[in-house]
Amino acid sequence: MTTELSIEFFPPQTAEGVARLKTERAELARLHPEFFSVTYGAGGSTRERTFAIVKEIVAEGSSAAPHLSCIGSTKASIREILDEFRASGIRRTVALRGDLPSGMAEPGELRHANELVEFVRAEMGDDFQIIVAAYPEWHPQAKTPDADLVNFARKVKAGANAAITQYFYNADAYFYFLDKATRLGVDIPIIPGIMPIVGFSKLARFSDACGAEIPRWMRKQFESYGDDTASIRAFGLDVVTRLCERLLRGGAPGLHFYSMNTAALTTEIWQRLKR
């Protein structure tokens, strides 16, 4: 059975970054992913850069799934973006609430991801496959785990076709989330988000901020390597490969890699999986 692969990029801020991403993307295209997703900055702050990359991906013969966030935006601006996507042959989007940009007081006309999903579906019918976010270790702003699950189910019932999770390193968290979501009537594919490990310090800071747990045994092992980047890389590759193997054995419908705009680690892990 073929496992679906998808890969995420973020829009670089410099011309050098854009050129580097094009090279990395060409490497990743050899893995024949189902689609490349491209992130979208708070309040649409990267709109032009996101769409420029998306158009390049389509021109290169790959499928693109641009992110679309609603916080800080109007219905008119979201409708304009969707029209732009559709005119460019894009039929897939990742619908997110997003974050309110610093200094912006008004959250906009749509305040939650389920409202965005409803709006896209109402405006575009079935023209788009809508992907939403899922949080196996719970969204950091959720009041309770159960409340977070109810919010997730609300997005699905609003018209989502699939979900991609926040990254995690505990497979049990994913399978438990899957079981709970199924009991709420969720029946769409929930694809695990995978974060290859480039370095430990930056990963630890980012994980603490977004609520993704790094198990204590992993932290201790990484800390024991100090500045030994080769050992950190090798251990990280082993850990993430084993995580992917367990997820796929357990029936995960695919894997979504947060590439951080580099090809090497995603390529290495995918080749180890021999997919």
* pLDDT for position 275: 60
Is residue 94 pLDDT above 50, yes or no?
Answer: yes
* Lowest-pLDDT choice from 31-35, 107-111, 239-243, 246-250: 107-111
Q: Report whether 103 contacts 94 (CB < 8 A).
A: no
Q: What is the mean pLDDT of residues 146-151?
A: 94
Q: Report whether 132 contacts 159 (CB < 8 A).
A: no
How much is the pTM?
0.94
More confident call, 103 vs 56: 56
Domain CATH for 265: 3.20.20.220
pLDDT range class, residue 211, cuts 50, 70, 90:
confident
Identity of residue 263 = A
* pLDDT for position 98: 80
* pLDDT for position 47: 78
Would you please indicate which residues are annotated as catalytic (active-site) residues? 8
Q: What is the mean pLDDT of residues 117-123?
A: 97
Residue 156 DSSP label: H
Q: What is the mean pLDDT of residues 55-81?
A: 92
* pLDDT for position 273: 96
| pLDDT tens-place string over residues 1-37 | 457 999 999 999 999 999 999 999 999 999 999 999 9
Residue 19: CA count within 13 A, CB half-sphere: 3
Q: What is the mean pLDDT of residues 35-44?
A: 80
Range of the domain at 98: 4-273
* pLDDT for position 144: 92
Residue 59: CA count within 13 A, CB half-sphere: 7
Q: Where are the beta strands (DSSP E) in 28-174?
A: 35-38, 64-69, 92-96, 129-134, 162-167
Average pLDDT, the chain: 92
* pLDDT for position 1: 43
pLDDT more than 70, % of the chain:
94
Structurally, the chain folds into a number of domains equal to 1
* pLDDT for position 111: 81
Buried b or exposed e, range 138-162, using 16+ CB within 10 angstroms: bbeebeebeebbebbbbbbebbbbb
Tokens of 43: 């309040």
